[in-house]
Amino acid sequence: MPNYKLTYFKIRGRAETARYIFAYSGINYEDNTVDIMDWPNVKRSLLFQQIPILKVDKTEINQSTAIARYLARETGLAGKTNLEQAQVDAIVDTINDFMNMFPWTEKDPSVKQKITEDVFANNIPLLLDGLSKLLGDHMWFVGDSVTWADFHWAVCSITLTNLNVDVLHNYPKLLALKERVEALPKIAAWIERRPKTPL
């Protein structure tokens, strides 16, 4: 088993899907959290000046989706066939497309609020309608067992509901999927002990 070191801020953010995979799979790893005050110095030392970064023994992997995809493949959470893996990847990439529409780095509060409201009004319903249709009456998004696409949805849905508490009101199947993921014993244990942060 390799030694894993995951470096990110002390928030859920873009590293949380990887943390769900670690938790569910029972894999020990070093959760190296970067204090925001230390970030300027840490940033200068990084190849692309971005986190999260996963160190696997001596090899570093950047990009949160690449990290989660690698861990999912290593732990049997990527999908059972090449076709299932493509379906899982498509769901994750689609969720990311929509989540990236939010103005995460906007400094002006009024501009940030306006853009956020616009995304919720014009884009998020398209995402939720599509995901709800993909899920249908199944337990999980792809195949007959949980995959990291389900984890990624559960993580991102927390952020969506923090931004808009009623966003899942008309999507009971998606809300139930989030709850199924969070009820998995090892995921539930991680949620109980993780730092309580807004993002």
Q: Name the residues annotated as catalytic.
A: 8, 14, 104
How far apart, in whole angstroms, are the C-alpha atoms of residue 116 and residue 139?
A: 30
R_g (Cα) of the chain, nearest Å: 17
Answer yes or no: are the C-beta atoms of 67 and 52 closer than 8 Å.
Answer: yes
165 exposure class (CB count in 10 Å sphere: 0-12, 13-18, 19+): exposed
Tell me the residue length of the chain. 199
Measured CA to CA in angstroms, residue 178 lies from 46, 126, 153, 174, 183 at distances of 34, 18, 7, 6, 9
